[in-house]
């Protein structure tokens, strides 16, 4: 009976892979992977393991989700141990839930192997704790994919008035719209923002600014990148540790 492991690859630094993920990667007969997963991970596979790339290039899917689901299913019919490797955590904007439902409907056994999500680890590598006593008592991970000016926006912008930390994934191309929207709901224009590009990798770059200045400052940063909005960004001054200057 074959099994599909929906596996989190972590944010980039290969050492942030879990022991459980490593075990199934070493056992896998086939690994179906995304662009975001660190390709060095594939070197851990046994010889003869098949590799299937179904990733996205700059937000553009090379395969639509329903075809990805089908690829996973077909591989489950063919192989015993199937690893579906996804960047970060499979259930944080990873569509892992959709893939699991598809397998469930077809009575394919699966396991979920959580991964270290970029939404907390990338800020951590930039010296930004997503919560900090007296500064932020909660954090929210928000999709930046949806245009904030879309009339039917499902993002509850009005819930973002507090000083809690906001982490936007997939939002780099919408950065100026996101900042305008946050100013519109009443955040001060000098509210701190950081953009972190290729976090946890040797190419990590961090740009710090305010809701007013960040869009200009972050121009041209490569993806993947995420946006952190909140007073916790100010802690970076003292807590940055990863980048060599
Ligand atoms: N499941 C993933 C997120 C998928 S959405 C997770 O848990 O991390 C993809 C988005 O994640 C990217 O657009 C970017 O905003 C963010 N991201 C992933 N890896 C990143 C990295 N190394 N540095 C910065 N942002 C990253």
pLDDT digits (tens, 9 = 90+) for 7-31: 999 999 999 999 999 999 999 999 9
pLDDT of res. 58: 53
At residue 121, the 3 state secondary structure works out as helix
- CA separation for the pair 84, 90 (Å, rounded): 9
Q: What is the pTM of this model?
A: 0.95
- Domain spanning 3-113 has what CATH number? 3.40.1010.10
Mean pLDDT of 181-209: 97
Cα distances from 58 to residues 80, 85, 103, 222, 223, in angstroms, run: 32, 18, 27, 10, 7
Token readout for 167 is 């982490």
- Min mean pLDDT across 45-54, 59-68, 213-222 is at 59-68
CA of 107 to the centre of ligand 1 (A): 30
CA of 1 to the centre of ligand 1 (A): 33
Kindly state if the Cβ of 169 falls inside 6 Å of ligand 1. yes
Substitution site in 17, 55, 87 for ligand 1 pocket (most atoms within 8 Å of beta carbon)? 87
Q: How confident is the model at residue 220 (pLDDT cuts 50, 70, 90)?
A: very high
Share of the chain above pLDDT 90, in %: 85
Nearest to 232 by CA among 137, 150, 154, 131: 131
Kindly state if the Cβ of 225 falls inside 6 Å of ligand 1. yes
Measured in whole angstroms, the distance separating CA 244 from the mean position of its chain's CA atoms is 23
Mean pLDDT of 62-68: 86
Domain with CATH 3.40.1010.10 in the chain: 3-113
In terms of CATH architecture, what is 118-239?
2-Layer Sandwich (3.30)
Token readout for 190 is 């000098």
Kindly state if the Cβ of 96 falls inside 6 Å of ligand 1. no
Residue with the nearest Cα to atom 25 of ligand 1? 225
pLDDT digits (tens, 9 = 90+) for 83-112: 999 999 999 998 999 999 999 999 999 999
Q: Are 165 and 139 in contact (CB under 8 A)?
A: yes
- CA separation for the pair 220, 218 (Å, rounded): 6
pLDDT digits (tens, 9 = 90+) for 152-185: 778 899 999 998 999 999 999 999 999 999 999 9
pLDDT of res. 97: 95
Domain with CATH 3.30.950.10 in the chain: 118-239
| pLDDT higher than threshold 80 for residue 216 | yes
Mean pLDDT of 196-205: 97
């Amino acid at each position: 009976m074959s099994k599909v492991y929906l596996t989190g690859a972590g944010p980039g630094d290969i050492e942030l892979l879990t022991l459980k993920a490593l075990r199934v990667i070493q056992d896998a007969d086939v690994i179906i992977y995304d662009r975001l997963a660190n390709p060095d991970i594939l070197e851990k596979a046994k010889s003869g393991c098949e590799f299937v790339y179904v990733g996205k290039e700059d937000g553009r899917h090379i395969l639509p989700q329903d075809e990805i689901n089908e690829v996973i299913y077909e591989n489950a019919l063919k192989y015993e141990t199937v690893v579906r490797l996804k960047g970060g955590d499979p259930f944080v904007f990873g569509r892992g839930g959709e893939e699991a439902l598809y397998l469930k409907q077809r009575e394919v056994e699966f396991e979920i192997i959580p991964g270290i999500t970029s939404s907390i680890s990338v800020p951590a590598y930039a010296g930004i704790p997503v919560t900090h006593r007296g500064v932020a008592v909660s954090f929210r991970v928000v999709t930046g994919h949806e245009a904030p000016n879309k009339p039917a926006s499902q993002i509850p912008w009005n819930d973002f008035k507090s000083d809690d930390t906001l982490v936007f994934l997939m939002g780099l191309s919408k950065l100026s719209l996101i900042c305008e929207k946050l100013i519109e709901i009443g955040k001060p224009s000098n509210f701190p923002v950081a953009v972190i590009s290729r976090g946890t990798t040797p190419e990590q770059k961090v740009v710090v600014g305010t809701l007013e200045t960040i869009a200009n400052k972050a121009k041209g940063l490569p993806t993947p990148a995420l946006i952190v909005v909140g007073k916790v960004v100010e802690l970076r001054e003292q807590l940055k540790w990863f980048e060599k200057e």
